[in-house]
Amino acid sequence: MNKKCLAPLLIALTFALAACDEDKGHYTDLGGDNGTMPQSDNLNPDSSGIPPSPRPDVSPDSADYQTLASDTVYFAFDSSTIPAAERGKLQQVADWFKANPGHGLFLAGHADKRGTPEYNRALGERRALSVREYLVGLGLPASALFTNSYGADRPAVQGDTEEAYAKNRRVEIGVIVQK
C-alpha cells in the first residue's frame, strides 16, 4: 500500500468510525445473530452477511443519482446475482469512492413489473444488498453504504417490452450530498 492510497483510506476509516457513533434510531442488535446472507456472486471476494447500516439523516430522494449514473447495475429476470459483465461498474464505483472521500452512497434497488408488488420490493432490496456486499468486498466501508428499494414503482422506462423490463431491473447509485 503506497502513500497515495493511505490518506483517502484514513479519511474513509474516520468516516466509518464516526458513523458507528451515530444515533442508530430504532435498531436492535440481536447479539451474535448475523443472519444468513445469500451468496449474491460466486466470485465475491468477501461473502459475509452484512446487516444494513443505520440510516443517515438525509432522505434517499435528496441524493445525486447523476454522478454515478453510468454505473447503474442491471440484473437478470427474478435474480439478485450481479452479472459478471456488470462487475466492472462496481470497480469504477469503488475507485470513485476512494477518490472522493466523505460521501456516503445510496444503493436504490428496483424491479421490473412482472412480479407482485411486495415480491418486487424485496427483490429490489436484495439487489441493493448484493451491490452493497460486493462493494464491501472491494474495500468500501459498510457503514457508508445504504440500501433502499422501490420495487417496480419507479421504472426507468415505461412499457411492456423486454427492453423496457431489462432497463428497470437495476440498482442505481446515489451520492449523498453532505450539507
Partner 1 sequence: MKSFSVTLTVLLVISLTSLLALRLHAQEGGVEVTVGNLPRVGVSISGGEATQVVSNDLRRTGMMTPVGGGTGEYLASGEASESGLTGRLTRGGSEIFNQTFSGSPRGAAHEFADAITKAITGLPGFSSSKIAFVSSATGSKELYLADIDGYNARAYTHDHVISASPSLNHDATKLVYASYKSGYLDIYLVDLTSNSRTRIVFFPGINSGPSFSPDGSQIAMTLSKDGNPEIYTMSLGGGTPVRITRTRGSETSPSWSPTGDRLVYSSDDHGSPQLFISSSSGVSEMDHLVTGNSFCTKPDWSPDGKLIAFTARVAGQFQIGVYDVASRNGHLVTTAGGQDPAWTCDSRHLVYSNDGRLYLLDTVTGHSLPIDVGLGGCGEPTVSR
Chain residues that interact with partner 1, rule: CB under 8 A: 25-28, 30, 33-39, 49-55, 58-62, 78, 114-119, 121-123, 125-126, 129, 146-151, 153
Question: 8 vs 54, which CB is nearer to partner 1?
Answer: 54
Closer CB to partner 1, 54 or 101, in the complex: 54
- The nearest distance, CB 18 to partner 1, in angstroms, is 17
Q: In the complex, what is the shortest distance from the CB of residue 97 to partner 1, in angstroms, rounded to a whole number?
A: 20
Cβ of residue 10: shortest distance to partner 1, in angstroms?
26
**Please, what is the minimum distance in Å from the beta carbon of residue 135 to partner 1?**
14
Residue partners of 66: CB distance under 8 A and separation at least 6: none
Closer by beta carbon to partner 1, 7 or else 59? 59
Least Å distance, CB 99 to partner 1, is: 27
Please, which residue, 8 or 115, has the CB nearer to partner 1? 115
The nearer residue to partner 1, 148 or 168, going by C-beta atoms, is 148
CA nearest to 107, candidates 83, 80, 85: 80
38: nearest Cα among 133, 109, 140: 133
Look at phi and psi of residue 109 and say left if phi exceeds 0, alpha if psi is from -120 to 50, else beta. beta
Residue that the C-alpha cell 445510496 belongs to: 106
Which residues fall within 8 angstroms of residue 161, CB to CB, at 6 or more apart? Answer: none
Handedness of CA 63, 59, 26, 33 (dihedral sign): negative
